[in-house]
Amino acid sequence: MTVVLSVTLFFGYRFVSRDAGTEGGYVVWAYLPDVTGVAPRSRVITSGVQVGVVRSIRLHEGKARIDIAMMPEHVLYEDAAVGKKSTSLIGEYLIALTPGTTGKKRIPDGGQIRNLIRGASIESLQVQVRDILLDVKSVTETLSKTVGGDKGEDRIEAILRNLAEVTQQLNATVKENRATVRATLDNVSAITAQSRPELAAILSNIKAITADLKQLTGRGETGSDGAKPAGSLRSTIERVNRASATLESVLKHADNIAARVDRGEGTVGRLVNDETLINEVEEVVEGVSTLVGGLGRMQTIVGLRTDYNFLANTIKSYVSLRLQPAEDKYYLVEVVNDPRGLTTFEQIDVDTTNPNDPPHYREIRTVTSNAFRFTFQFAKRMGPFTGRFGIRESTGGIGVDLHLLDDRFELRQDFFGFGEELSPRWRVALSYEFLKKLWLLGGVDNIINDDRRDYFFGLELRFNDEDLKTVLPFAPTPSVR
C-alpha cells in the first residue's frame, strides 16, 4: 500500500508541478534591470506558451540575475532576448522569451541571454498623457490671451474700423477719378476695335489654358469611362480644407477639455485639482502593491506523508500546508489521521449515599475517540536550526529541526502530548530527499513511554504549489459580528 500510494503521489505531483517538463533540459541566465513582481518558480513563456520556469533570482555584482530552467525541446540562439511582461494592472509579472533566429549559434547549458525586450510600461504612458495635456493647456492659454478678454475685443474692433476707412477712401477715389476712368475705357474700346484679330487669337489661347486648368482642378468633362480626370490641385485644396476643419474642431474640443480640467470637472479634473483624492489613490495603490508583493513572495509548500508503525502494525497519514512568507519563518497547518485516535482525560467528582462507596470520591477517565488530529505551529529559522511552537497533533507542543546537506537532510524532534500520559511524547525522525520532492523518513515515536514506544518508516511528497497562493486571498472566511 505504501508503494502504491508513493507512486500515485509522485505522478500527482508531476501533474500539478510547474517544473514538469524541464527534466533533461538546460539552464540559462540573464541580467534584468528590474525583477519587481517576479517570483521564483514563475512561468517563462514564448508567444503565450510555457517553455521553462524561473529557477532562482538573486543579486549578482549589484545586478538582478535570473536563472531559467528550459524544457529540452525548446532551443535558444545567440540573438535570443528576455524581458519582464505584465499580466495585469496590479503588478503581477512573468518572464517572456524570444528564441532568436534559427541557424545561428545555440546558447549552451549555463549560457547567458544578452539581449533585453523593452516594452512600454504604464508609468511611461502616464508621463506621455501628462505631457500632451500640458501642451494642450499651453495652446489654449495662448489663444485665450490673444483673443479673449477686453484687449482682444479692442483689437478686433480696431481691425474692423480700419477696413471701413479703407473702403470709404476707395469710394472717394473712384468718384474723384470718374472722368479719367471713362476716358481710359474709351481708349480701351478703340484699341480692342483695332486689335480684334489679335484679341481673338489671345482669347483662343486663354480658352485653351482655362481648359487645361479645368482638367487640372478636376472640373472638366467626364471621360469615356464615366470617370472625371484626376484633379491634383483641386483634391489638394479639398484635403487642406478638410484638415483645417478637423484642426478647428480638435482645438475647440481641447479648449473645452482644458476648461473642464481647470474647473476640476470629470475624473482627470479631480485627479489634477483634488489633492485629497490623489493622496487616497496613492494610498490604495501602495496597499494593493504591498498585498500583491506579499502574495508573490509567499511560498505555499504542500506535504503528503504516509508512515508505517512497525509495532502497532498501522499506517499513519499526514496532509500539511506550509505558508512561508519569508525564508526564515513559516506557518505549519497539518491534519493527521492517527490510528491510535485522539485521547482525552475526564475528571469526575462523585458524591454518593451508597454505603459500599466512600461518600465522596473522584474518577479519572481516559477517552480515546477516532478523530483527526490537527497541528498549527509557528516556525522560525536561525542558521541550520528551526524552532517550532504551537499545537502539535491537538496538544501543546514544541519542536526543533536541524538542516544539513543544503537542506536535503533533516533531523526533527517534537515534544507534545503533555496531557495524554504522565510523560510527554518525544518523537525523533530523520528525513532525506533522495529524489527531487520525495523524502524518505524513519524514526522513533514516544521514546520516553516504554508501553507506547513504536518505530516508523515512511515517505513524504513535498512540493511548492504556485497556483495555491492565488486561491488563498479568495478563500471563504467566517464573518465576525
**DSSP class per residue in 243-288:** HHHHHHHHHHHHHHHHHHHHHT-HHHHHHHH-HHHHHHHHHHHHHH
d(CA 179, CA 360): 151
Number of domains in the chain: 3
Residue 154 counted as domain residue = no
Cα separation of 343 and 347, whole Å?
14
- Return the pLDDT at 19: 59
Grid cell in block for residue 302:
504542500
Per-residue pLDDT at 216? 64
Report yes or no: 13 and 461 within 8 Å, Cβ to Cβ: yes
Nearest residue to 49 (alpha-carbon basis) of 17, 85, 97, 15 = 97
In the chain, pLDDT over 90 holds for what percent of residues? 27
Q: What is the SS3 assignment for 192?
A: helix
- Residue 221, pLDDT above cutoff 60: no
71 DSSP assignment: -
Half-sphere exposure of 29 (CA within 13 A, CB side): 14
Work out the end-to-end distance of the chain between its first and last CA atoms, rounded to an integer number of angstroms: 47
Instruction: Give yes or no: residues 349 and 449 share one domain.
Output: yes
Looking at the fold, whether 362 and 273 belong to one and the same domain comes out as no
Tell me the residue ranges of DSSP E strands in 249-384: 299-309, 314-326, 329-337, 342-351, 360-369, 373-382
pLDDT at position 259 over 70: yes
Do 291 and 419 fall into the same domain? no
Per-residue pLDDT at 256 exceeds 50: yes
Region 1-10 average pLDDT: 83
pLDDT, position 363: 75
**Cβ contact 360:349 at 8 Å:** yes
The per-residue pLDDT for range 120-173, each reduced to its tens digit, is 555 566 677 788 888 888 877 776 766 666 676 777 778 888 888 888 888 888
201 phi and psi angles, rounded to 5 deg: -65, -40
Together in a domain, 338 and 460? yes
93 in a domain, yes or no? Answer: yes
**Are the CB atoms for 410 and 399 separated by under 8 Å?**
no
**Per-chain mean pLDDT for the chain:** 80
The verdict on residue 312 lying in a domain is: yes
Strands 115-116 and 81-86: parallel
Q: Could you tell me the pLDDT band of residue 230, with boundaries at 50, 70 and 90?
A: very low
pLDDT at 481: 42
Provide long-range contacts, Cβ within 8 A and 24+ apart, for 411-418: 412/443, 414/388, 416/392, 417/392, 417/393
Query: How far apart are alpha carbons 273 and 278 in whole angstroms?
Result: 9
**The pLDDT of residue 232 is above 80:** no
The answer to whether 415 and 402 are in contact (CB under 8 A) is: no
Q: Are residues 394 and 288 in the same domain?
A: no
Q: Which residues pair with 248 in a beta bridge?
A: none
Strands 342-351 and 329-337 turn out to be unpaired
User: pLDDT category, 15, cuts 50, 70, 90?
Assistant: low
Q: Which of 291, 295, 377, 287 is nearest to 329 (CA)?
A: 377
SS3 state of residue 63? strand
Residue type, 164: A
Cα separation, 214 vs 216, in Å, equals: 5
- Chain segment 291-335, per-residue pLDDT in tens: 666 566 788 899 999 999 999 899 999 999 999 888 899 999 999
Question: What integer pLDDT is reported at residue 312 of this predicted model?
Answer: 86
Distance (Å, rounded) from C-alpha 470 to C-alpha 12?
A: 20
Whether the pLDDT of residue 70 is over 50: the answer is yes
- The residue whose grid cell reads 508513493 is 6
Please tell me the distance from the alpha carbon of residue 271 to that of residue 339, in angstroms, as a whole number. 64
Half-sphere exposure of 60 (CA within 13 A, CB side): 12
pLDDT digit string, tens, across residues 410-455: 999 999 987 666 778 899 999 999 999 999 999 999 898 888 899 9
DSSP helix/strand/coil, 72: coil
Is the sign of the CA dihedral 47, 48, 52, 55 positive or negative? Answer: positive
Give the pLDDT band (50/70/90) at residue 378: very high
Do 274 and 406 reside in the same domain of the chain? no
What cell was used for 345? 482525560
The cell numbers describing 14, all together, are 508531476
Give a yes or no: residue 274 inside a domain. Answer: yes
Longest dimension (CA), the chain: 167
Task: Please check whether residues 291 and 302 belong to one and the same domain.
Answer: no
pLDDT 10s digits, 203-216: 888 888 888 777 76
207 or 471: which leads in pLDDT: 207
Percent of the chain beyond pLDDT 70? 77
pLDDT band at 479 (very low <50, low <70, confident <90, very high): very low
Q: Which domain holds residue 97?
A: 2-119
Confidence of residue 224 (pLDDT cuts 50, 70, 90): very low
Per-residue pLDDT band for 476 (boundaries 50, 70, 90) equals low
* Mean pLDDT for the stretch of residues 206-229: 63
**Co-location of 392 and 312 in the same domain:** yes
In a domain? residue 417: yes
**What phi and psi, each to the nearest 5 degrees, are found at residue 365?**
-110, 140
User: For position 377, what pLDDT does the model report?
Assistant: 94
Residue 124 placed within a domain: no
Q: How far apart are CA 313 and CA 301, in angstroms?
A: 30
Q: Which residue has the higher pLDDT, 272 or 401?
A: 401
Residue 447 lies in a domain: yes
Question: Within this chain, do residues 319 and 447 fall inside the same structural domain, yes or no?
Answer: yes
Considering the domain architecture, whether residues 288 and 393 belong to the same structural domain is answered as no
**Do 414 and 390 contact (CB within 8 A), yes or no?**
no
Q: What is the CATH number of the domain that holds 333?
A: 2.40.160
Residue 158 lies in a domain: no
- Phi, then psi, of 223 in degrees rounded to 5: -80, -175
Higher pLDDT, 165 or 179: 165
Torsion, CA 403, CA 459, CA 399, CA 330, rounded to 10: 70
Residues 6+ apart with CB under 8 A from 276: none
Q: What is the pLDDT of residue 77?
A: 94
Q: Which of 251, 280, 295 is the last residue of a domain?
A: 295
Q: Please tell me whether residues 342 and 464 are part of one structural domain.
A: yes
Range picked from 54-63, 176-185, 267-276, 356-365 for highest mean pLDDT: 54-63
Do 324 and 410 lie in a common domain? yes
pLDDT at 225 over 60: no
Rg, C-alpha atoms of the chain: 44
Helix and strand tally (H, E) in the chain? 9, 19
